[in-house]
């Protein structure tokens, strides 16, 4: 744990203090993380070595980079010009070090081998390590979409939606297992819905935390399930993911507050558990087809 390559520890390799970081815990307390690094300087130079560990960094490049070099295990490896939106993979057991000559802006996803093994075991998959070809860029729309979806949460700091962050990082882990690990054997898992007591417990816990949010692992543990099993069972029982269900309840709470009071929309957004008014407006409009302000005015006219 002392050397996990995310947040300030990863930042030190790039001479940055406390870069924006989000962290999620799996059912067995393995950390999944995403860190945003950004530098506007030219001739940055070499990155500092990262302590070796059985883990991976997946770098989603948000900005193109034409001049850079890469060493792995002390040896230079061929590289391609970096294209914005593409991703690269780094095995932290092999001491990757880069030379950067231009401004750069990546998101680095951090996953341990143990976190990958956790999901492969649960799904009945026998697999090795993540396939990781240093210096090769991958055009992966799922990684890119998840990265961009997490940017607002990275910038929201303490107001980030823990449930959404859990969903996004767990989705990334599942995507990597399905697409970048050499599967040797697969036994299809039997997906059941939640028992009545589990569904009731999950909904009660999430309702109690509409305003402040709650980690998926906490809800799953209360139901006696792993996080992945809980997500699948909840969706089978309710027709929506836990995050979608939570957003729907927050919208319903916001509608009640708009019906029965005159508080500003910004206050209602926070009271209902949204990061800010902009987040509230996006979620509300996506589900009802109108903004909260228009909906409220229409209610007032009745």
pLDDT digits (tens, 9 = 90+) for 239-291: 999 989 999 999 999 999 998 888 899 999 999 988 889 989 999 999 899 99
pLDDT digits (tens, 9 = 90+) for 194-253: 888 889 999 999 999 888 888 888 898 888 888 888 888 899 899 999 989 999 999 999
pLDDT digits (tens, 9 = 90+) for 123-150: 666 556 677 677 778 889 999 999 999 9
pLDDT score at 45: 85
pLDDT digits (tens, 9 = 90+) for 24-43: 988 788 899 999 999 888 87
More confident residue, 66 or 135: 66
- Boundaries of CATH 2.60.120.10 in the chain? 7-184
Class of domain 7-184: mainly beta
pLDDT, the chain, mean: 85
- Boundaries of CATH 1.10.10.60 in the chain? 244-301
pLDDT for 122 beyond 80: no
What is the CATH number assigned to the segment(s) 190-239? Answer: 1.10.10
Confidence of residue 185 (pLDDT cuts 50, 70, 90): very low
3-7, 95-99, 148-152, 193-197: which range is least confident on average?
Answer: 3-7
Residue in 256, 273, 254, 275 with CA at minimum distance from that of residue 265: 254
pLDDT score at 80: 83
Is the domain spanning 244-301 CATH 1.10.10.60? The answer is: yes
């Amino acid at each position: 744990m002392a050397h996990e390559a995310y947040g300030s520890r990863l930042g030190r390799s790039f001479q940055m203090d406390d870069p924006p970081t989000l962290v999620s815990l799996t059912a067995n307390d393995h950390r999944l993380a995403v860190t945003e690094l950004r530098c506007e300087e030219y001739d940055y130079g070499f990155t500092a070595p990262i302590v070796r560990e059985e883990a991976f960094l997946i770098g989603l490049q948000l900005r193109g980079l034409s001049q850079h070099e890469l060493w792995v295990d002390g040896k230079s490896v061929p590289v391609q010009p970096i294209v914005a939106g593409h991703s690269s993979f780094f095995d932290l057991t092999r001491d990757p070090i880069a030379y950067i000559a231009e401004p750069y802006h990546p998101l680095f996803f951090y996953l341990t081998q143990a976190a990958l093994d956790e999901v492969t075991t649960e799904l009945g998959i026998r697999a090795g390590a993540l396939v990781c070809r240093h210096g090769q860029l991958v055009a992966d729309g799922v990684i890119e979409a998840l990265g961009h979806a997490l940017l607002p949460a990275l910038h929201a700091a303490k107001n980030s939606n823990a449930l959404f962050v859990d969903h996004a990082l767990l989705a990334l882990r599942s995507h990597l297992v399905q697409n970048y690990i050499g599967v040797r054997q697969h036994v299809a898992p039997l997906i059941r819905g939640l028992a009545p007591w589990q569904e009731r417990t999950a909904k009660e816990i999430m309702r109690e935390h509409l305003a402040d949010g709650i980690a998926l692992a906490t809800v799953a543990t209360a139901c006696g399930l792993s996080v992945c099993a809980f997500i699948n069972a909840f969706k089978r029982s309710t027709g929506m993911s836990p995050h979608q269900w939570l957003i729907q309840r927050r919208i319903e709470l916001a509608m009640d507050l708009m019906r029965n009071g005159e508080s500003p929309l910004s206050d209602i957004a926070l009271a209902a558990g949204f990061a800010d008014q902009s987040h509230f407006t996006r979620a509300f409009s996506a589900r009802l087809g109108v903004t909260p302000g228009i909906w409220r005015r229409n209610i007032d006219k009745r």
